[in-house]
A and B are shown apart, each in its own frame.
Chain A
Amino acid sequence: GQNIDQPTEMTATEGAIVQINCTYQTSGFNGLFWYQQHAGEAPTFLSYNVLDGLEEKGRFSSFLSRSKGYSYLLLKELQMKDSASYLCAVRAYNTNAGKSTFGDGTTLTVKP
């Protein structure tokens, strides 16, 4: 099976930088995803990492270390609209190759 851990809640200030961590345990890792979900809305895809290293996309970056079973999502120049839940999801390399398992999400509150 898969086990995914994320902090439940985080608070940060507008304009600051915040790092949301995700640790996972899985047999046959085959990719990690980050999704953003605003209250009352559906999750939306943010990033995908399958190799070690940092993937940058505008204000958002995602990092992966497969040997440590660790990823983080880095949000720079925080804006009020970044207040949302951030979900880490892991895909395993097995017969259920299309399926991702989601963590419980980290609720980020951005304050003025």
Chain B
Amino acid sequence: DAGVIQSPRHEVTEMGQEVTLRCKPISGHDYLFWYRQTMMRGLELLIYFNNNVPIDDSGMPEDRFSAKMPNASFSTLKIQPSEPRDSAVYFCASSGRNYGYTFGSGTRLTVV
């Protein structure tokens, strides 16, 4: 298994631009999570899906953030418009019945 696959690994964008992060979970995992990590705030859960359905999006900072999971093998996290304070590492993770997470390698986002 290739594990959880995220793209891109690094993204540098200008303030105001749209950013789309992508994630392919492990086949057969029915939970998918989007986290953001910064030195100041640690790992923050943004949103998670169960069987492609959003369950809890209370961690999404504001309307500029949106996430979709159109099928069991793909999810996106979109930021529009991006701001410098969105700079962070964004992790996607998936889990199956044992509920242990497998994390992707992360996307390091820098908004200038």
Contacts and interface: CB of A to CB of B under 8 A. Distances in A.
Interface string B1-45: 000000000000000000000000000001101000000001101
A43 B48 contact: no
B58 to A, nearest CB: 10
Nearest to B42: A104
B100 A98 contact: no
A39 B48 CA distance: 25
A33 B100 contact: yes
B85 to A, nearest CB: 19
Interface in A80-112: 87, 89, 91, 96-105
B95 interface: yes
A41 B31 CA distance: 21
Contact of A42 (B50, B91, B99, B100): B91
B101 to A, nearest CB: 6
Contacts of B50: 98
B56 A44 contact: no
Given A33-B101, A45-B102, A100-B101, 4 more contacts: A42-B105, A43-B91, A91-B99, A104-B42
